[in-house]
Amino acid sequence: MVTAIVMSLLLVAALGVFAWLIVPRFRLLLRLANESRVDHLGTRLWGTLKFAFGQARMPREPVAGFAHIFIFSGFLVVSIATITHFAHAYDPSWHFPGLGGQAGLVYLLVKDVFEVLVLLGVMYGLWRRLKPTPSRVGRSWEGVFVLVMIFTLMITDFLTYGGEHVVHGTSALPYNPAGYVAALLLTPLGTSGAHLVALVSWWIHCVAILVFLNFLPIGKHFHVITAIPNVFFRNLRPRGELVKIDLEASETFGLRATSDLTWKMALDAYSCTECGRCNVFCPTHLTNKPLSHRQLNLDLKHALYADKPTLLTGDKSKVEALEPLVGGRISPDTIWACTTCGACENECPVLIENIPRIIAMRQHKVLMEGDVAPELARAFKGMEQNQNPWGIGSDQRDAWAQGLDVPRAADLKAKGEPIELLYWVGCAGSFDDRTKKITLAMVKILRAAGVKFAILGKEEGCTGDSARRAGNEYLFQTMATANVELLNSYGVKKILTHCPHCLHTLSVDYPQFGGHYELVHHTQLIEQLVAAGKLELKHEVKSSVTLHDSCYLGRYHDIYEAPRKALKSVRGLKLVEMPRNKSRGVCCGAGGARFWMEENIGERINVHRAKEAVACGTDTVSSSCPFCLTMLKDGVAELGKDESVKTLDVAEIVAQAI
């Protein structure tokens, strides 16, 4: 009776404190902007099983990943025993339905195996946090405390069962091997001594659980509570798709203060595990830029907590007076450093959406404050006046095709002929002298394979990718609307492009404006033509090539094999992979409109990537994106290797073999 009363008092106190800590945090979510995340329940449940319970992304770093899997899965298994311990305060013979008799013994064996795995994971975790050279997780008293708590839970469970075996004279083998070892250690204490140790261990186990429960909301381990819901409410839209702003209905745009965050953005901040995986392949972090996604999550979380009293009052005047995020809690250099490469989101085990909120902060700076870097402002002006960021006269867009007799869409329409394939050349392929060579190589390939195609010529406009990722949603929507109207007027169904940014914008962004097209990247088409025997590569190209993976082609569209197969189809060519490749390749630094901006902080990203490419020892560095090619070309030149190392697009190499 006394045990039951004491346990009841502990439970009431602990759960009361937990509610006092947790309720305001979830009230805060309800105060923030609404965002619908309850569609496709089956897909959401499956994703939760895969990423939250199945820990699908953890093995990307095998040792640390499996250590976490051991701890997480072990904690789930041991929780059955923990609940049983609490129930025994009221009924010492209670067990979960179905876990009596033989089934209960099997559970004991499974529990012991998982508890040992948990201890292995905990010891590895402690070593990572306490070793002389800090790992990416850093040193954290909180992390050490939590690991020690978990260690305590496992050991006290062993001792509780071991003491009971000594008291009752039962055999622990073969179903309770850990309990057997504990019983061997406790046997010299005698029955009364073993009973005392078991009783103390039982109380320590139960109290530790309650302390742990109330520790979770006050630190980074809040993610233990929020990570599973965060995965459930993950983004199910095409990767990289941004929310379309209603420019007519909205009075303010973008993200100014914590009051402008959506509840999902806040849940993301709550759920950050501070593991640092987001920084491992982040080009800004690797080159000492001020952007660290882990730190950004911390800054947003701290800002939310600081503003919580004001946000919960709902007082409009006070809410509008909240300190701005950018320029207040977050440096402007932080949000403008991002290349939107997606490495952070690709690595995050709890599927935090970093990029949309960065772009939302840019939107406020650009649309509401007119705060734009001069070089980016020039690119915007070029898009507004001449439909390209270079600002070159739009009448020069198809000058590259002079004398080539390339069909125009308008001519085919006038003849009543369908446009089987529209070649979207893009701004770089039309105006940049280096990239024009990729365009010409593609024309050569298309004609060699007998592919019927057409271009828009002077009618083609900028897709607006850079404008949207830089936060200029108004300019982007203007260009997108005009382009969709033009494409639909020609009845375009299938579009070829050699620019991954054009591919992404046309396939992911344009459906928001009524533009639904089948997009094919030029490396995909080359692969298909070679496989079908339509493109014959007669000549050897004796060259060693390393391939840089475009972020917008790879991470955003999972196109990794097409460029490789296209290169491997060339006789005499040797492909050498960079150490960091495919989904773990490092950005060239051009994405997120960074191509148009100066880079004055830390190491230049393109140089960082070029170093890795040059270190492969090949005579050629290849890419499948015109912006990547330019960045790599400049990086190789800055390293003084431009005379010995060529930079070529996949199409240029393939064209040599025709």
* pLDDT tens digits for range 531-583: 999 999 999 999 999 999 999 999 999 999 999 999 999 999 999 999 999 99
* DSSP secondary structure code for residue 463 in this structure: -
The rounded distance, in Å, linking the Cα atoms of 574 and 563 is: 14
Return the pLDDT at 75.
87
What one-letter code names the amino acid at 463? Answer: T
How many whole angstroms separate alpha carbon 292 and alpha carbon 530? 43
H or E stretch covering 521: strand 518-521
Query: Cα–Cα distance between 555 and 341 in angstroms, integer?
Result: 8
pLDDT at 572: 95
Specify the DSSP element, H or E, that contains 561: helix 561-568
pLDDT at site 45: 97
Which of 329, 221, 331 minimizes the C-alpha distance to 274? Answer: 221
Half-sphere exposure of residue 80: CA atoms within 13 angstroms, side-chain side: 20
Fill in the DSSP letter of residue 13. Answer: H
Residue 143's pLDDT is: 85
pLDDT in tens, 69-119: 999 999 899 999 999 999 999 998 888 998 888 888 899 899 999 999 999
Number of Cβ atoms within 10 Å of the Cβ of 254: 22
Write out pLDDT tens, residues 270-305. Answer: 999 888 999 999 999 999 999 999 999 999 999 999
* pLDDT at residue 613, as a whole number: 97
Residue 367 has a pLDDT of 96
In sequence order, the β-bridge partners of residue 626 are none
Low-confidence ranges of the chain (pLDDT < 50): none
Residues in the chain: 658
SS (H, E, C) 28-50: HHHHCECCCCCCCHHHHHHHHHH
pLDDT for 20: 95
Of residues 548, 527, 522, the one with CA closest to residue 537: 527
Residue 140 confidence (pLDDT): 76
